[in-house]
Amino acid sequence: MPRIAGIDIPRNKQIWVSLQYIHGVGPNVSRKVLEQTGVGAETRADDLTEQEVNSIREVIDREYTVEGELRKEHSLNIKRLMEIGSYRGSRHRHSLPVRGQRTRTNARVHRGSRKTVAGRGKKRGTTKK
C-alpha cells in the first residue's frame, strides 16, 4: 500500500481517486499532480512503481499544503478570528453557522439536540372535552 504524505492510500482504486484520501487533495489537484509526474490517471495504485510513488510524493510535498500543516493552518485561522472578536469568530465560539444560514428552523447539528420548552406546542385557549 503506497504511503504518501503520511496516509496509506487505497490500492484497488485508480490513482487519481486514491490521492483524494489525502486531506487537502481534491480531484483537480490530484489530476495536476499526475500530469506533472507523467503518471496515467487510470492506473491502479497497486500498479505504481516505486519511482512513480516517489515522484508523486515529492510534488505533493513541494507544492501543496496537505494533512497536518493544512489542519493546523485552518485551526489557527479560526482561533485568530475568535481572538480579534470578529462576527465570524463569535459564531465559531458559540458553535453556530458562520456563513449567514438561518438558525430559526435549521442548523440542528450546530445548535444541538432539541430542547423542549414548557407551554409550547399546545394551542392556548382550547378546552378539554
Is the same domain home to 78 and 104? Answer: yes
Each residue's pLDDT, cut to its tens digit, for the chain (129 residues) gives 688 888 899 989 999 999 999 999 999 999 999 999 999 999 998 999 999 999 999 999 999 999 999 999 999 999 999 999 999 999 999 989 999 899 888 888 888 888 888 876 666 666 666
Do 18 and 47 sit in the same domain of this protein? yes
Residues 60 and 14 in one domain: yes
- CATH (domain of 39): 1.10.8.50
CA atoms of 64 and 24, how far apart (whole Å): 8
Are 50 and 19 in a shared domain? yes
Which residues have CB under 8 Å from 95's CB, separation 6+? 110, 111
**Can you say how many angstroms the Cα of residue 2 is from the centroid of all Cα atoms in its chain?**
22
In a domain, residue 8? The reply is yes
Owning domain of residue 97: 68-110
Place of cell 512513480: 52
Residue 91 lies in a domain: yes
59: its cell numbers: 510534488
